[in-house]
Structures are given as C-alpha cells and as structure tokens.
Amino acid sequence: MKFKKLLSAITASALCLGMLAGCGNAADSSSDSSEASAASADGEKVKIGVIQIVEHQSLNTIRDAFTAQMNELGYIDGENAEFEFQSAQGEVSTANSIIQSFESDGKDIIVAIATPTAQAAATVSDEIPVVFSAVTDPVGAGLVDSLESTGKNITGTSDALQIDLILDFASSMTPINTLGYLYNPGEANSVSCLEEVKAYCDAHGITLVEKTVTNSSEVQQAAQVMFEEVDAGFSPNDNTIAAAMAAVSEAAKEAKKPMYVGADSMVMDGGFATLGIDYTDLGKETANMADQILKGEKTASEIPVKVFDSDLYQYVNKTTAEAIGVTIPDDVLNDERTVIVE
C-alpha cells in the first residue's frame, strides 16, 4: 500500500519542477549529437506548442511530466527549443484561438492535452503534426481512424477508462442501488463513457440518474441535487467536473455519500475512490512520441495510439472516507496496488 500526504505541497512542488524543466533549468541534461537533432538543421529552435483545456491536477500532471521528459530527451527551452504553454480555461472558443495562434507562429508540433483541445488542434493537423494526451476515446472523438493506424497527422496517448472495473471496485466498497452520473455532455469523452455506464447499470440492476452541467459554476448545485437521489455518484475524467472537484467533494461530504471518479487527481481533490492509471506515465509517453516526430524517425500517422489500460492502481481518499462514514475494507488497505490519499 502506498501513501500520499501533504498533497497540496507535493502538487505545487511537482508543478514548479515541471515548469523549471520546461524552462531549461537542467544543466545536467545531456546534449549529445542525437539530442541536438531537437534543433533544426539551420540552428533555429524547435517550436513546441502545448495546450490544455483547463487547469486541474490530472492535466497539470501530464503537462509537467511531458515537459520533464522532453528536457531529459534534450529539448532545452531557450537553447534548442521554444516551449509555449497555454490553457483554454475551459472554453472551446479559446482553444480554437490558441490553435490558430500556434499555426500563425509556425509551431513545429502541437501537444494537445484532453479531448476538446485535441479536437481543436486537429483542424490544423494537415500543416502541423499533433500529439494528444488524455483522450479517452480518440476514434469516437473523430481524431483518428483507428488506434493501430491513425490515418492522419495525429497520434497520442489515451486514458480510456475501464468502466466495468471501476464500478466493480466501487460496488465492492459501498452498496450501490442507485448511481448518479455527473458530467458535461459537451465533452465527447464523458458521453462515450456514459454508454458504458448505462450498460453496466443495466447488467447489474442499478438505477442510473444523469445530471448534466455546461460549466464549472453549475457543478455544485448539480452535485447537491444528485446526492439527494442516489446511493453514490460517479464522474469520468470529465474536465468540467475535475476543475470543480472541491465543490463536488463538499456536496458528497454533506450528503454522506461516496463520489467515485475517473482519475487519480480527482481522488486527490476530494473524490472518494477510483481504479486507474498514473497520469505521469501519460505525459512521459506523449513526450516520447513528440520526440520521434521531431527527429523525423516517424510521422504522426505511423505511431499507433498508446492506450493506458493496464497496471491500474486503487486510489482511495482516507480523509473523504472518514468524512462520509465509510470504512475502507482491509483487502483494499492491504493491497500493494492501493494508493491511500490523505
């Protein structure tokens, strides 16, 4: 069993380290001839545009891991590379504007974190290779033709949720006869997950209650209403919900109901539990893909989408468990793949 404490401090440290890495504060990084190929033949800096749909812990973790891995691969900001980081602040229109500015600036590659920004970046992929990260359903989102052969100048990493396994885990933690599904229907990943949740509930005799929001300001009230009607709540890796997890967590604690989620960071931000991946791995692999493209080893269309659907961890928030009056089972506590968040 693993423990995570002082999360706010740890997160802040990780953020600082990641951004320092992106700014080139890594004098020890190797810059041999292979890494020097990060710069173009005429000595100009490689221009790397990084966009995320909103600021929240999962996406920030991916961004920082990507930055650190790129630094390890020899891409030093201000020396042979020029990184530009942008957040769309949850607005698709802002994402489109950022992508247009990346195109105008002549970026050599665009890294798009989360489905909405990947969809925005896809509009310029004929001119600029795109590597996405944390896209739950790349095919369903219209980004690629298939996971094995993208058919486009786009590839990336997927955090496809193992819905059945997550809900099996949830049901083993607390009894669930009615389940609330809290999501933004404007996010393709959440709509895709909904169909799997419906199938699971139908197969297990669980009544499903859907609650939708269009922005973060609506989340708290929707969560409060949902918890009045259900035994437990669930949100996938929905960026709108993730950005407002503090409000969801507060509503869950007031109602004494468990809130199951789709990402480890959502547990760190007050959600009760999930079964999922380590988002640092997504960021690292996204960097590895970008490196192959920038060095001309492969085109984006030649790199299959990497789906992270194994080596799953059980994430449980101990503080939340105590607040809602749930005892964490011994078999979960004693499992070596359990991460206890405090």
CA distance between the termini of the chain: 13
Helix axes 57-72, 7-22, angle to 10 degrees: 40
Sign of CA dihedral 26, 30, 32, 35: negative
Which strands make up the sheet holding 81-87, listed edge to edge? 81-87, 46-52, 109-113, 130-133, 154-158, 306-307
In order, the DSSP letters of 23-74 are: TT--TTS---HHHHTTS-TTSPPEEEEEEESS--HHHHHHHHHHHHHHHHTT
Mean pLDDT of the chain: 89
3-class secondary structure, 266:
helix
Answer for the pair 127, 288: CB distance below 8 angstroms, yes or no.
no
Note the pTM of the prediction, 2 decimals. Answer: 0.77
In order, the DSSP letters of 45-57 are: PEEEEEEESS--H
Q: Which residues contact 5 (CB under 8 A, 6 or more apart)?
A: 342
pLDDT for the residue numbered 43: 67
pLDDT for the residue numbered 1: 53
Class for the domain spanning 2-159+277-307: alpha beta
Of 164, 153, 60, 69, which Cα lies nearest the Cα of 114?
60
CATH superfamily of 163-276+312-341: Response regulator (3.40.50.2300)
77: which DSSP letter? B
Of 62, 70, 188, 66, which Cα lies nearest the Cα of 137?
188
| Average pLDDT value for residue range 212-216 | 95
Answer for the pair 255, 182: CB distance below 8 angstroms, yes or no.
no
Q: Which residues contact 159 (CB under 8 A, 6 or more apart)?
A: 134, 135, 136, 237, 263, 276, 277, 279, 282, 308
Q: Measure CA 162 to chain center.
A: 14
3-class secondary structure, 195:
helix
Q: What is the pLDDT of residues 86-96, one digit of tens each?
A: 999 989 999 99
Q: What is the pLDDT of residues 269-287, one digit of tens each?
A: 999 999 998 889 999 999 9
Q: What is the pLDDT of residues 19-39, one digit of tens each?
A: 333 333 333 333 343 443 445
17 vs 140: which has the higher pLDDT: 140
C-alpha distance from residue 44 to each of 47, 74, 79, 191, 302 (Å): 9, 15, 9, 42, 26
If you search the block for the tokens 């786009």, which residue do you land on? Answer: 154
pLDDT for the residue numbered 328: 96
Half-sphere exposure of 293 (CA within 13 A, CB side): 29
Query: Domain extents for the chain?
Result: 2-159+277-307, 163-276+312-341
